[in-house]
Amino acid sequence: MCGICGIASGSAVDPDRLGAMSAALAHRGPDSIGEHVDAGVGLAARRLSIIDLETGDQPIANEDGTCHVVQNGEIYNYEDLRRELERAGHRFRTHGDTEVLVHAYEQWDTDFARRLRGMFAVAIWDARRRRLVLARDRFGIKPLYYRTDGAELSFASELRALPRGELDLDGLEAFLAFNSIPAPLTIFHESRKLPPGYLLVWEAGRVQLERYARPGPVSLTELRDDDEAELLEELRGRLRDSVRAHLVSDVPVGVLLSGGVDSAALAALAAQESSEPLRTFSIGFEERSFNELDDARAVARMYGTDHHELTVRPDAALLLPKLADAFDEPFADSSALPTYLVSQLAAGHVKVALSGEGGDELFGGYYTYAADLIADRVAPVARLARPLVERLPSSSRKASFDYKAKRFVRAAHLPPLERHHGWKEIFGPDLRAELTGRTHSFDPLDLYRARYHETDGADPLARLQDVDFGIYLVDDLLVKTDRASMAHSLEARVPYLDPIVTNFAFALPARHKVRGLAKKVLLRRAVAPLLPRRIVQGRKRGFSIPAAAWLRGDLEPFARDTLSAQTLGRQGFFRPEAVTALIDRHVGGREDLSRQLWGLLAFTLWYERHVEREPAPLVTARMEALVR
């Protein structure tokens, strides 16, 4: 696990500029620093040592030094690839996974990326061809940003290492719609995200993008119709295989344990595969409906794990600015806060932790999927009931009935994709225009439509899951996990996002995912022998926070101060009177607008810390200890 960056240019690369880019990523790799500077290219890596502690420092070259590679991530099938490459005549000097990449590129050219099982962002400089190749894993687990002006291309693991440039109003519009910014957009006009499953080739000043992998649902004729007992046994075996691969490390590995079925299953399998007590880490809240520590403890007791936990309180003055520092572009999924804190907790004990991202998108874990299946049948009733539902008082409880009911009746009559988005949308088009005082021709939902149209002919529910898998998972959940963990120099691994698991899930008929209001049907049955009954039959879990209650209580003064007319007027993006009206409506209990307010707080704090003034470097506890 590392932070990587570099520059390819038609002229000499400034070593000081490359060093400054590398320094901005120090939190991603505090264990070593490496650079390669040659005519027209500079590569740099900040390493968090996980595999091959002795000889794995980067950049790493091939036998004659004509190709150099830097990598962020882990390749889980590197030993198999190494044996194949050695049979083909390649010679290795190290024992880790990074050197495999440079030899794989020599052997298979850009097809090397198709052969990789893992999470990665890779940069390879081919001096013979004066060619830079960037590759991002097929699931988008590891980030990769780039910026090009024709004469030069620069890239980095995080946006903070690239020049800031002008704000992209399309990126801002997408942020207001989703509380995150989907690829290829970023908040800056000149910079872009390399999408998952893509290669970028820079050669002779020209940039070419190529999609090498597109995970997604199969056609209706390819859906599996096996006996359920066989599917259950196969799923358990595939999950165990993935967990075993993700435990490969030369340092201790833990599990981020929420108390829900996804992370609990990972903890159970990891504990069975570990020769010593597994370390597990959990977050709880004082608010009862959000506190899931009892469920996490039940799993920890069952497997005798070395369990650590933390109870979170709403200390906004400390926590929200820390999140703004950790995220290099606006990001407003409020579950980033507990993910940040549980990563901080875990980093005090391990350097690697397994996390449960992907289970919901693959196996049907969201309430919206059940709503998708019943919406057409109940849309007329929902339309009639809407006036009554809209009058329900707003609760501060987790996943409250009033919140879900209002969302449902507002969108039930729409076409499938628009309806699915409507249940999760943050600011709709009219509210965005009211908030900003601008009308904007860009429709962020077009990014969803493009993904949706690629799966024509697949099962209707699977198509909506695929939109979540390719956009929400990538640009929200995986961004959250990457930044929150790497802020503390912790490597987070996601065993559900492994082809051995995803290919199986994509081929499952909808009945094995959602039946009526029952979600993750096959997955729950598959892991039932491994877990306490209360976990298997429990409602959806996750590191969500009591934001609605906090913003009606201890966080209200902080929100009003942060979103003051003076601050909003200075920044110039949002109309102060529109923002004040949102706060008043939420605090008055008329509607749960916590997601919208959290988004406005996140953007305002981000802009203040990353644009209005020079952002401070992230300093982790591990780095502070090294300084001391």
Q: How does pLDDT run across 102-128, given as a tens digit for each residue?
A: 999 999 999 999 999 999 999 999 999
What does the pLDDT read at residue 102?
A: 96
CA dihedral 316, 319, 325, 329 (to 10 degrees): -70
Q: Where are the domains of the chain?
A: 2-211, 220-363+478-536, 368-462+547-610
Going across the sheet that includes 67-75, the strands are 60-61, 67-75, 118-126, 131-136, 198-203, 206-211
pLDDT band at 403 (very low <50, low <70, confident <90, very high): confident
Q: Which residue has the higher pLDDT, 1 or 287?
A: 287
Query: At residue 625, does pLDDT exceed 50?
Result: no
**Burial class of residue 539 in the structure, from the number of CB atoms within 10 Å of its CB (0-12 exposed, 13-18 middle, 19+ buried):** exposed
pLDDT band at 621 (very low <50, low <70, confident <90, very high): very low
Going across the sheet that includes 145-148, the strands are 32-38, 41-47, 2-9, 152-156, 145-148, 191-193
What does the pLDDT read at residue 616?
A: 60
Tell me: domain 2-211, CATH 3.60.20.10, correct?
A: yes
What does the pLDDT read at residue 293?
A: 86
**Annotated active-site residue in 2, 21, 253, 283:** 2
**Burial class of residue 74 in the structure, from the number of CB atoms within 10 Å of its CB (0-12 exposed, 13-18 middle, 19+ buried):** buried
Q: Which of 173-182, 265-274, 289-298, 613-622 has the lowest mean pLDDT?
A: 613-622
Per 3-state DSSP, what percentage of the chain is helix, strand, and coil (rounded to 5)? 45, 15, 35
Q: Span 444-459, mean pLDDT?
A: 96
What does the pLDDT read at residue 554?
A: 87
Q: Span 535-539, mean pLDDT?
A: 84
CA distances from 103 to 38, 93, 123 (A): 20, 11, 13
CA–CA distance, 579 with 604 (Å, rounded to integer): 12
What does the pLDDT read at residue 626?
A: 30
Q: Span 226-250, mean pLDDT?
A: 94
2 is catalytic: yes
Q: Which CATH architecture has domain 220-363+478-536?
A: 3-Layer(aba) Sandwich (3.40)
CA–CA distance, 583 with 592 (Å, rounded to integer): 10
pLDDT band at 622 (very low <50, low <70, confident <90, very high): very low
What does the pLDDT read at residue 628?
A: 28
What does the pLDDT read at residue 54?
A: 59
Residue count of the chain, please give it.
628
Residues pairing with 152 in the sheet: 9
Q: What is the average pLDDT value for the chain, to the nearest integer?
A: 91
Query: At residue 599, does pLDDT exceed 60?
Result: yes
Q: What is the DSSP string of 112-148?
A: GGGG--EEEEEEEEETTTTEEEEEE-TT--S--EEEE
Q: List helix spans (H) across 412-498.
A: 416-422, 429-436, 445-453, 460-467, 478-486
374: tokens are 């019943």
What does the pLDDT read at residue 180?
A: 97
Residues pairing with 9 in the sheet: 152
pLDDT band at 541 (very low <50, low <70, confident <90, very high): low
Q: Span 367-386, mean pLDDT?
A: 87
The amino acid that residue 545 corresponds to is: I
494 and 141 in contact (C-beta within 8 Å)? yes
